[in-house]
Structure 1
Amino acid sequence: MQWYFVATLLTILTSSQGILTTLSQSNGGYKYDYATVPFLAEVFKLVVSSILLWREWRMPSSPKMTTEWRSVRLFPIPSIIYLVHNNVQFATLTYVDTSTYQIMGNLKIVTTGILFRLFLRRRLSTLQWMAIVLLAVGTTTSQVKGCGEALCDSLFAAPIQGYLLGVLSACLSALAGVYTEFLMKKNNDSLYWQNVQLYTFGAIFNMFRLLLDDFRGGFEKGPWWQRLFDGYNITTWMVVFNLGSTGLLVSWLMKYADNIIKVYSTSMAMLLTMVLSVYLFNFKPTLQLFLGIIICMMSLHMYFAPPGMLVDIPSTAKAAPDSLREVSVERRTDS
């Protein structure tokens, strides 16, 4: 399976995630507990990975599985980082509006490239660094409001705490992705065995989150396991399966590709979502959106272009024409 096929599928699933979530709403709200969706998605990923690991185990060559505690204890760390990130995200939204937060969220594109270089020791060319910065500029351009809109002046109206928390949120999101890639590539263990460890801890942490919500609400609606599927319909289950499938594709990219490809997939998914919203939700396209799409496509071409495709490298030596023949001249001297 080629990485570009997985990246394209990830782009499609990620772009449809926001649309399906919007379609699952009823009268502007959710009839179901939205906190149960990530939990069920983790369970779905755990079940699928367990089945694939079992099938791999039945093959003549058994999969490699490291069961030492020194290795297993590293897998809860991404869940802890995401847990801290969610709290920082909530705190950031108390200082800034949603549009400002989305624009600041594009910082994770650049921070992913920096952490990619520092922690994974992966070298990027100057042209690739320019492409990453250009991608951040393109996604930001597509989200900037028009000057005549009411929220135009809100970008620089938030207190300094909001911007600091926004930068921290972008760094945590990039750190979680880079660390997950480190886990996936640190040994030759089976991808499905690594997924089982990763999603087991993910399901446990999401279950603790549901229990915490029950304690905060005083168990007024009963324990979470009794109302787990309340308000669910076909669209809600599609959201769960979409979120779970997206996670499985991301783990494949972390194992056999890298974080930068994932960043490009999610960024292109954001643009695709905005384009589809024009037809599905009567979203008015803006000049900024078209400019952002053009800039992102330029960035995509720059990053994945062959080294000599964008710049003509002059040849250092000229080949001799075939038509020239070596002629020997015999000189005679008369005595």
Structure 2
Amino acid sequence: QFVAKLGVSMRQQYRFASLVVICAQTTALVLLTRYSRVVVSGSAYLSSTVILLSELCKLAITLLMVLLENEGSISASYRSVGNHLSNLRLDCLLLIVPSFLYTVQNNIIFYALSNLTAATFQVTYQLKILVTAVLSWILLSKRLTSQQWLALVILVVGVVMVQLNGHRSGQVDVRSNSVRGLVAVLLACLSSGFAGVFFEKIVKSDTKHSLSMRNLQLSLFSVPLASAAVYVNDADAVLRLGFFYGYNWLTLVIVLLHAVGGIAVSVAVKYADNVLKGFATSVSIVLSTGISCMIEETGLTTLFILGSVMVVASSLIYSWTSPFRPRLTSGLNTSK
């Protein structure tokens, strides 16, 4: 109901704000995660517990959003949540699909990063943008203009150039298994693309549920699945060392960034689309790499600068073209 009352300008503000938040959040998350794993001394935290804690944090944020939607009334919020949960329809139950895929994706990414260099992972993971575009065309009946396809190509080339720069100056982990790592990251691309498009189809096909309620429904599936991932992957370690083993203030910041990112992604899916969300993530890769170069004083090469320009240019080319248009199914004039 709240979404239906939004004007076009307000929707554009939500769209722009969500993409900016995703870009900033992803940049901070990459840098802080690397810092917490490589620079900070001490025992490493269990990644599966971070995922679970971030889902619980996201659930808390979502409940706060529901409370604000009901003007701070706890009783009204309770009734609203109760009504939605008691009248779960098929599309609500289908949210278990993206919930499951997001949980699998998060755990696959940790596996991929243990078998690939960061540069190789980031380059390959950009294939999710192409996967998302194709799945949007298939599942959402959307098609890209020739300019938007060109923007996708420029994007991939630009990110590859940026990461080749990082690869030249980075260290190669001789313990990595490139074949398993590549298979893992390809699976992550597929799960990320399909989950994002599937969730977009659900939230845009039904305006009866608010975005906060959709996030609540998503969290109700994600929390049990993330708990299962902790049990499967790190049950022995949790029992032996404790759930919060290796945690410090930085770990809690990373948990909060994960939670905020999840909310921002849902807003971007609602008011923008998954491909634009992918562009925001790619811009963050350039930012994080550039900041890393400045912090580590490795310098910005011509390859990095040229690749950065291509990524920014691709984002502008994609954004300035006409939006997704549905495929023609009849002889009717569908022009604006």
Match of 1:326 in 2: none
Indicate conservation of the 8 Å contact 2:51/2:106, yes or no: no
Query: Deviation digits for residues 267-323 of structure 1, max 9, x if unmatched?
Result: 10110111111232334433321121111122122112256xxxxxxxxxxxxxxxx
CA distance in 2, matches of 1:263, 1:110: 9
Name the CA shift for 1:148/1:130 in 2 (closer, same or farther; >3 Å): closer
Match of 1:184 in 2: 203
CA distance in 1, matches of 2:142, 2:101: 22
List aligned pairs for 1:1-335, cutoff 5 A.
1=10, 2=13, 3-25=15-37, 27=40, 30-58=43-71, 65=84, 67-86=87-106, 89=109, 97-145=117-165, 163=182, 165-188=184-207, 189-217=209-237, 219-221=239-241, 227-305=242-320
Higher relative helix content: 2
Unaligned runs of 5+ in 1: 222-226, 308-335
Indicate conservation of the 8 Å contact 2:91/2:202, yes or no: no
Per mean C-alpha deviation after superposition, the further-off stretch among 96-105 and 185-194 is 96-105
Name the CA shift for 1:50/1:149 in 2 (closer, same or farther; >3 Å): closer
CA distance in 2, matches of 1:121, 1:55: 35
Match of 1:317 in 2: none
CA distance in 2, matches of 1:146, 1:22: 14
1:79, distance to aligned residue in structure 2 (A): 2.3
1:96, distance to aligned residue in structure 2 (A): 5.0
Name the CA shift for 1:32/1:172 in 2 (closer, same or farther; >3 Å): closer
2:290 counterpart letter in structure 1: V
1:32 counterpart letter in structure 2: Y
Indicate conservation of the 8 Å contact 1:113/1:132, yes or no: no
How many residue pairs get aligned? The number is 298
Q: TM-score, normalised by structure 2?
A: 0.77
Name the CA shift for 1:168/1:119 in 2 (closer, same or farther; >3 Å): same
Per mean C-alpha deviation after superposition, the further-off stretch among 283-292 and 271-280 is 283-292
Between the aligned residues of both structures, percent identity stands at 28
CA distance in 2, matches of 1:108, 1:74: 22
Q: How big is the alpha-carbon RMSD for the aligned residues of Structure 1 and Structure 2?
A: 3.2
Indicate conservation of the 8 Å contact 2:129/2:278, yes or no: yes
SS at match of 2:194: helix
CA distance in 2, matches of 1:53, 1:150: 45
Q: TM-score, normalised by structure 1?
A: 0.77
Match of 2:6 in 1: none
